[in-house]
Structure formats: C-alpha cells, structure tokens
Amino acid sequence: MPASPPPDPILSETQVAFLESGVSINVASVSGDGNPYPLLARACGCQVSADRRQVAVLLSATQAAALFAGLRASGSVAVVFNLPSTHHSLQLKGRDARVTAPAADDPARAAAYRDAFAADLARIGFSDAYARAVIPPTDASLARVVFTPDSVFDQTPGGNAGQRLTRT
C-alpha cells in the first residue's frame, strides 16, 4: 500500500458514471471480534468525489447496524455494483472506510437513485412498487460510508469475473 495516493485516480470517468447510476449496491465488511465473519447490507445511492479518489455509499443505519460496527472496527470494505438489466458488475475494495453523517443533499441523492434503480428493474419486468421497496428507506437513519478505493474488480458473470482491473 503506497503511503500517498496513486498519481491517477483508480476509477475511470466511465466507471464513476456507472457507480452513480441506478445500479444495485451491496456493501460488505467483516466483524471485528477476532473471529471475522462477513457482514452485508444494501446501499441506496453512491457519490464519487470530483477527483474520483473517494467513494461514498448511502445506507440505512437501522439495516446496517452490524455492518457499521464491523466497518468502525476494521475499516475494511468491499462494495459491489450491479446493473440488473445487463449483469454488468464492479467490486471496489478499500481499507479506510468510515461511517459519517449524511450530506445535506443525500436524501435527494437517494430519492434520485431509487428512481433510476426502479427504471432499470422495469426493463426486466419488475414492478415499480417492488423495485422501490427493495431500496432501504431514506429516513432519519440515512448514513454514509466513505472510503478510498484501492482496487477494482470486474464482477460481471463470465470468464473474467473476479479479475482485478487496472488503469492503463
């Protein structure tokens, strides 16, 4: 792990556009009790910083209580982004995850995300009501998890699934 950020951001602009679209987002960490167990929760939106070095994902603290405890203890995070209609998937990993209060515009971001997610699920036959119910509530429990991605993996099903992607 280099001491300073790499000269180029690890994420391309195309990848950023994908992460911020209506993709399905699931966040994982490990329990911090010396007996690591995988923890998992669904997110309701994503924002990548202007310099493409920081990623924030939005979650419901109610749904993600155990995940947040794991993130606070270990800082280790893995996030998978998947567009249901195409199966295109990326996984980001980071080691410096922290749980923070939501930004002022996060409720609006989550609402826009939910619209985009429902639109994609409609393409493969899911009802609008179902797609919206899948997404965590954007209420007082909204929180964000911020991290610096240090690796990106192609998770699209097929021969390349699980391969680390490098910027060229």
Partner 1 sequence: MSAAADLDALRHCLEGAVPAAIATVAVDGTPNVTYVSQVHYVDHAHVALSFQFFNKTRATVQVLDPDTAAHYRLSLEYLRTETSGPLFERMKAKLAGIASHTGMAKVFRLRGADIYAVRAIEAVAGAWLPRPPLARSRLPGLRACAAALAAGGDLDSLFDSLLVGLRREFGIQYAMLLMHDGHGQRLYTVASLGYPVSGVGSEIPLGAGVIGVAARERTAIRISHWTADYAYGRALRDNLPADALASLETEIPFPGLEAPGSQLAVPILVADRLLGVLYVESPEDLRFDYEDEDALVTLAHQLALAMRLAAHSTEAGAPMPADATEPPTPARDSLVIRRYGANDSLFIGEDYLIKGVAGAILWKLLNDHQRHGRTEFSNRELRLAPDIRLPDISDNLEARLILLRRRLAERCDGVALEKTGRGRFRLRVDRPLTLLDMDHGGDSGQPVAPAR
56 close to 145: Cβ distance less than 8 angstroms: yes
C-beta closer to partner 1: residue 78 or 142: 78
Does position 37 interact with partner 1 (CB under 8 A)? The reply is yes
* Beta carbons within 10 angstroms of residue 113's beta carbon: 24
Only one of the segments 10-18, 40-48, 51-59, 105-113 lies at the binding site for partner 1 (rule: CB under 8 A); that segment is 40-48
Q: Tell me whether residue 103 is exposed, middle or buried, using C-beta atoms within 10 angstroms of its C-beta: 0 to 12, 13 to 18, 19 or more.
A: middle
- Residues 107-136 interacting with partner 1 (rule: CB under 8 A): 124, 129-130, 133-134, 136
What is the SS3 assignment for 155? coil
What is the SS3 assignment for 115? helix
Q: In this chain, which of 12, 18, 21, 40 binds partner 1, going by CB under 8 A?
A: 40
C-beta closer to partner 1: residue 11 or 79: 79
The structure tokens 């998978």 sit at 80
Q: In this chain, which of 10, 19, 23, 27 binds partner 1, going by CB under 8 A?
A: 27
Only one of the segments 1-9, 14-22, 80-88, 98-106 lies at the binding site for partner 1 (rule: CB under 8 A); that segment is 80-88
Helix H, strand E, coil C: the string for 9-30 is: CCCCHHHHHHHCCCCEEEEEEE
State in angstroms the smallest separation of the CB of 136 from partner 1.
Answer: 7
> Which helix (H) or strand (E) is 39 found in, with range?
strand 38-42
What is the spatial distance between Cα 165 and Cα 18, in angstroms, rounded to a whole number? 15
The residues of the shown chain that bind partner 1, judged by CB under 8 A, are 26-30, 36-42, 60, 62-63, 74, 76-80, 82, 84, 87, 89, 91, 93, 95, 124, 129-130, 133-134, 136-137, 155, 157-158, 161-162
